[in-house]
Amino acid sequence: MKYQTDFTVTHKAAVMHSTPNGPANLLNEDVCLPAAAIKRSSLENNIAWMQNYADARGVSLAPHGKTTMTPWIFQRQVAQGAWAIGVGSAWQAKVAMEAGVPRVLMANQLVGKANMQLIAELKAQHPASGFFCCIDSLSNAQTLAAFFSQHGQTLDVLVELGVSGGRCGCRSVAQAERLAQEIAALPGLRLQGIELYEGVMHGDDAQSKIEQFLREAAGLLRRLHQQGLLNAEQAILTGAGSSWYDVVCNIWSEETLPANCRVVIRPGCYITHDQGIYQDAQNAVLARDSYACDLAGELTSALELVALVQSVPEPGRVIVNFGKRDAAFDAGLPQPIAHYRNGVRQQSDTQHLITHGIMDQHAMLSCPAEFPVQVGDILVFATSHPCLTFDKWKTLFLIDDNYNVIETIETFF
């Protein structure tokens, strides 16, 4: 348990009150508010649920670590059975490898001399840890080959398959196949398989487009295997963010894949889930997928923002002391789910409190003029899109269901 004993403030949600008779408690204002908190019961539930899902589908799980950038969480995901941790940058790979994860899957291109140097140093320092990154161009492949061969190292790479108008990735299967053939002839590189991200595909016909995309990727992997271009020990086929992982598993389970193929899914936001866009996405998964329905339990929202009412300047208007610097606001504003006064939960219906505006340090809520809220009350908020709440905090609090602080955990953005 990591409590500050000298009360030196090193982050914006520091523990300030000693508690000789028990742990610090957010509702008792032992901590500077606002604060971001993760409920342990929900976190443990979510880690187990997604691992159980991957196991039931016969695929490997590489949770996208960029969601939390929290080594404490990485270690628990791996302890529960995660095959790897996914990342998006060389820095994130450093954090994951130094946390002791067995494999790091960088679902992105490795470019730039300093980034390549960092990965080379990490590979030397952590020889037992696997590292994979993506390639979608010959120029990048040639640069990587020259750099890592000069360092006496072999870089494991995945050809990224993309879509027109999307993010990175080869824009056609033919282009990806040609690139794979070129990679196979280069020193310092070992082609491990195919990577994609289906989440860039949207619209009313998104599912049918995604299914076709997944089938094309499976066909490409078969051809690369037949041509002897892939690592003989293991071929990797990886995709699936937090919205379409069931479809990825369904389609690839129907495809005939090489016997040595490892299918890897990479959801990330399930770790704390939310009460916004990812709850909507999970509802869609449950409507589509019998495997998800048959699993015990369900994903639950674990990440909460605990804040103070700092002003009630006029009837029906409430100002709370958090803002854009504290919580995600790109996919819906944080909304109150509980109301406390002097540590006691109030019976007021928070559905009548609506967050309608947000500035750097202020959130503006509306409510009926007679709503029983006053300055100094605590409001607990649920958020949407956890990635952009995590990255605003150096330290989060792991709490029990009574808001007692169990442990402080650090992020590394």
How does DSSP assign 338-359, residue by residue? EEEETTEE----GGG-EEEEE-
Name which of 80-84, 185-189, 232-236 the model is least confident about: 232-236
CA 327 vs CA 68, 139, 155: distances in Å: 13, 39, 37
On the question of pLDDT at 394 being above 80, the answer is yes
pLDDT of residue 210: 97
pLDDT of residue 2: 53
Distance between CA atoms of 109 and 88, rounded to whole angstroms?
8
**pLDDT tens digits, 340-379:** 999 999 999 999 999 999 999 999 999 999 999 999 999 9
**Which 3 state secondary structure label does DSSP give 214?**
helix
End-to-end CA distance of the chain: 22
Mean pLDDT of the chain: 95
183: nearest Cα among 149, 150, 215, 216: 149
pTM, to two decimals: 0.93
Distance between CA atoms of 263 and 252, rounded to whole angstroms?
8
**pLDDT tens digits, 286-336:** 999 999 999 999 999 999 999 999 999 999 999 999 999 999 999 999 999
241 DSSP assignment: -
pLDDT of residue 13: 82
- Percent of the chain residues past pLDDT 70, beyond the cut: 97
Number of Cβ within a 10 Å radius of residue 296: 8
pLDDT of residue 11: 81
Each residue of 210-244: b (16+ CB within 10 Å) or e? bbebbebbbebbbebbeeebbeeeebbbbbbbbbb
List, in order, residues 6 or more apart from 31 with CB less than 8 Å away: 13, 14, 15, 16, 24, 397, 405
On the question of pLDDT at 18 being above 70, the answer is no
